[in-house]
Amino acid sequence: MYETPPVEKNGAQVELVDASGALVHTDKFLAARKAAALAGQAYAPVLGFETTGNLHINYPYTPFKGGISPRVALAWSPNYRSGLLGKLVGEGKTVLRGGFGRSFGRINGVNQVLVPLLGPGLLQPVTCGFTLSNGTCGTSNTLNNVFRIGPDGLVAPLQSPSATLPQPFFPGVGGQAVAGDSTVLDPDYKPEKVDTWDFTIQRQISRKLSFEAGYMGKRSRNIFEEINLDAVPYMMTLGGQTFANAYAKVWTALCFPGNGGRCSQFDILGRAAAIAAVPNQPFFEAALGGTGSSFCGATSCTQALLNNTSVINSTGSTNLFGQTRVSDLWAFLNGRSSWALGKTMLSSQATAINTTTSLGYSNYHAAFLTLKMSDWHGLTSISNFTWSKALGTGQIGQYNSSNQWLDIWNPKASYGPQIFDLKYIFTSGWSYRPPFFKGEHGWKGKLLDGWSVSPFLTAQSGFPIGIGYSESACSACQGFGEMGNTASSGSAFESALPISPFTAGHSAHTAVPGSVIAINGVNVSVGTNNSSQLNIFSDPASVLANFRRCVLGIDTSCGSVGNLRGLNRWNLDATIAKEIKFTERVGATFTVQFTNVLNHFQPSDPSSLTLTTSANFGRITSAVYAARQMEIGARIHF
């Protein structure tokens, strides 16, 4: 395989470059940013966007030339006429097969054609992530200085687009407007590589009955993944402590004493006392200049931070620690006058700078058993059972955008069940044609012969699901600082984690009206907004109370696409057919096809499963399959 990306004849494809005009490679950029953070230094260089024509390069990414796709397969049919092996494998009745193959994925045209247009340089999106009441854009804002339509004017504070775009173009620098979400192709982008292997045993039991059992595996590398280069470098180390560790210790001090880490309205229990009891954290002391600095004043920097109403307000509606708003906290720190690290964010240039990479990977393993029956007294069938596991870091297809890893510094944090991971799948198709009237002539043969009934059953275990939560400006976007700027449109997968082992199961429960429970002195309605009283949990309140947010510095993963399982499901379809022969060459087939022939109600997974909308928690409001439908058809053949 030799793959070359499409080329725009005028060189109008946008690349990401540094101040010197050199191409930015995602893996090298992240490595440099991480190394600097571990040394207590900021690495947030000025980045620009330049066309391939101006760079004098032919392609937006390096053509792929390593597409060698070997395939090998072996089959062996042993012959044993007697003894134990004769009974097990028989004489020419068993076949053992094995194979291996390597293939390469097809790069979606969206990435090849659209993504090179999403970086400013050809187009110029203008945005303001943090609007201020004085009509300007800032690096952060508060309830006191945010721009409000009406009192502060009728025109949003946006800079005017540039009349011309220099090459390279550096948004947010030298008076240029700040760009919106900007995405480019990584120069090292390549098609995914898939290694597949299998081993099967096929055994003929009788002339009309056989089975096959086997294993199949798939190892995929170079999978599509979008990376936000402005993700918070949480390993930043000052005072001998990382930002992640400081964050985790403050969260633990504020949240864990109250209801197992839910951190809901902790101020009801004594806001001032809870904050005063938080130990000073070396990172915050060093990063904010220590006692006596312009921000900290006469108190410690940890206390100054926690007593700032933009970090934690008096009602608890703003709590950058309790609401796991890591990116918002990092932006707040960056905006303080005594911030010791200088520029650590790229948001002064764009709300997001994303690169489309091939850094993801996945693995699939499955065992299966297939049973076939051929015309046994008019009955033909094939049934298959599969037991599988699909794990990976890239949970969505490459036609998507703005979905990020939970932790770009540690891909394993996103490694977990894929969206399509189904542990068990069973399918069984049958066709029964009564043989009793075969060969009958006259009206009896025309009336009674030629009928067939063909049911088809599917059953499967549940899809991965997770309990979500809001992080104020966004959801699943900043628990690990994955979106450096929450004004961007990006998100990741974050699921709440159980405080104690989860034992509630995953089946639909009827007559569940919900209940009201007290969490840290506040009455909370759980699952009460549910007219059907159908819920995935028999006691949604106890489940809600047993889950907490995923916390940076404490947890290493947030459950990938979901750490729970949705509802098991099954369905039965069927077809009734009648064949009629008019002459030797002319005939007709009449069919009646049923979907969901038993009119079985199969509840779907919950429509609302978040900590922040507790009244809807766990409720089921729809069905997977439509009600029974019937289609009548006729076909004439000649």
Q: How many residues does the chain have?
A: 638
Contact 160, 175 (CB under 8 A): no
What is the per-residue pLDDT for 259? 47
Domain assignment present for 499: no
Q: 349: buried, middle or exposed (CB in 10 Å: 19+, 13-18, 0-12)?
A: buried
Q: How far apart (Å, rounded) are the C-alpha atoms in residues 229 and 43?
A: 11
Domain assignment present for 446: no
Instruction: List all residues 6 or more positions away from 447 whose beta carbon is below 8 Å from its beta carbon.
Output: none
Q: How far apart (Å, rounded) are the C-alpha atoms in residues 21 and 347?
A: 20
CA angle 356, 360, 363 (to 5 degrees): 150
Tokens standing for 24? Answer: 């930015």
Q: How many domains does the chain have?
A: 1
The percent helix, strand, coil of the chain (3-state, each to 5) is 15, 35, 50
What is the per-residue pLDDT for 423? 96
Domain assignment present for 288: yes
Stated pTM of the model: 0.86
Instruction: Answer yes or no: is pLDDT of 237 > 90.
Output: yes
Residue 280 pLDDT grade (very low, low, confident, very high; cuts 50, 70, 90): very high
Contact 349, 46 (CB under 8 A): yes
Q: What is the mean pLDDT of residues 528-557?
A: 91
What is the per-residue pLDDT for 266? 47
Span 285-317, pLDDT tens digits: 999 999 999 999 999 999 999 999 899 887 777
Q: How far apart (Å, rounded) are the C-alpha atoms in residues 546 and 539?
A: 11
Domain assignment present for 632: no
Could you give the maximum distance between any two Cα atoms of the chain, in Å? 107
Instruction: Answer yes or no: is pLDDT of 196 > 90.
Output: yes
Instruction: Answer yes or no: is pLDDT of 459 > 90.
Output: yes
HSE-up of 141 (CA within 13 Å, CB side)? Answer: 20
Domain assignment present for 253: yes
Q: How far apart (Å, rounded) are the C-alpha atoms in residues 59 and 3?
A: 11
- What domain range is 255 assigned to? 237-334
Tokens standing for 158? Answer: 């946006």
Q: How far apart (Å, rounded) are the C-alpha atoms in residues 550 and 556?
A: 9
Domain assignment present for 241: yes
The DSSP bridge pattern shows strands 515-519 and 522-526 to be: antiparallel
Map residue 99 onto helix, strand or coil. Answer: strand
What is the per-residue pLDDT for 90? 84
Q: How far apart (Å, rounded) are the C-alpha atoms in residues 224 and 398?
A: 6
Domain assignment present for 96: no
What is the per-residue pLDDT for 403? 82
The count of other CB atoms within 10 Å of the CB of residue 218 is: 16
pLDDT mean across residues, the chain = 89
Domain assignment present for 566: no
Instruction: List all residues 6 or more positions away from 517 whose beta carbon is below 8 Å from its beta carbon.
Output: 523, 524, 526, 541, 544, 545
The count of other CB atoms within 10 Å of the CB of residue 409 is: 19
What is the per-residue pLDDT for 431? 96
